[in-house]
C-alpha cells in the first residue's frame, strides 16, 4: 500500500522526518519514537514487567538522538540511538500510525 511506503527518511535535530509516497509528511520527535520503541525490553518496561529498569528522566530525552537508521527488508527500519539502544525495529506501518496519532507540535 502506497500509504505505508516512505520515499525519504531523514534525521533532523529533534526527530525523524518521513516523506511518504502518498505525499503525506511526518515529523516524529525522538522522545515519542523512543517511548514507543517496539522492542521486547522497552515493552516489558512500559508494562511494568521489568522490575529493575528505571524509567528515563527528562534529561535523558533531551540528549537523545539517533546515530543511524538501518533499513530492515522492505518494510521496516532499525533505529540506532546515541545511548547504544538498537533493538527497536519500527515497521513503516507503525511509523505512519504513530505520526497520525501524534498531535502537531
Cα distances (Å, whole numbers) of residue 71 to 6, 67, 77, 80:
11, 14, 4, 11
Closest distance between Zn ion and the C-beta of residue 74, in Å? 22
Burial label for 55, CB within 10 Å (0-12, 13-18, 19+), is: exposed
Decide whether 20 or 81 has the Cβ nearer to Zn ion: 81
Task: Build a one-symbol-per-residue string for 10-49: x at contacts with Zn ion by CB under 5 A, - elsewhere.
Answer: ---------------------------x-x--x-------
Count of residues near Zn ion by CB under 5 A: 4
The position carrying cell 535523558 is 60
Query: Residues in the site for Zn ion, rule: CB under 5 A?
Result: 37, 39, 42, 88
Amino acid at each position: 500500500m502506497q500509504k505505508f511506503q516512505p520515499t525519504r527518511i531523514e534525521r533532523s535535530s529533534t526527530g525523524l522526518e518521513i516523506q511518504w509516497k502518498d505525499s503525506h509528511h511526518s515529523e516524529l520527535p525522538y522522545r515519542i519514537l523512543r517511548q514507543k520503541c517496539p522492542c521486547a525490553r522497552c515493552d516489558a518496561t512500559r508494562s511494568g514487567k521489568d522490575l529493575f529498569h528505571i524509567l528515563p528522566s527528562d534529561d535523558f530525552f533531551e540528549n537523545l538522538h539517533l546515530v543511524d537508521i538501518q533499513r530492515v527488508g522492505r518494510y521496516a527500519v532499525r533505529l540506532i540511538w546515541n545511548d547504544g539502544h538498537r533493538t527497536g525495529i519500527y515497521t513503516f506501518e507503525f511509523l505512519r500510525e504513530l505520526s497520525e496519532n501524534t498531535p502537531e507540535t
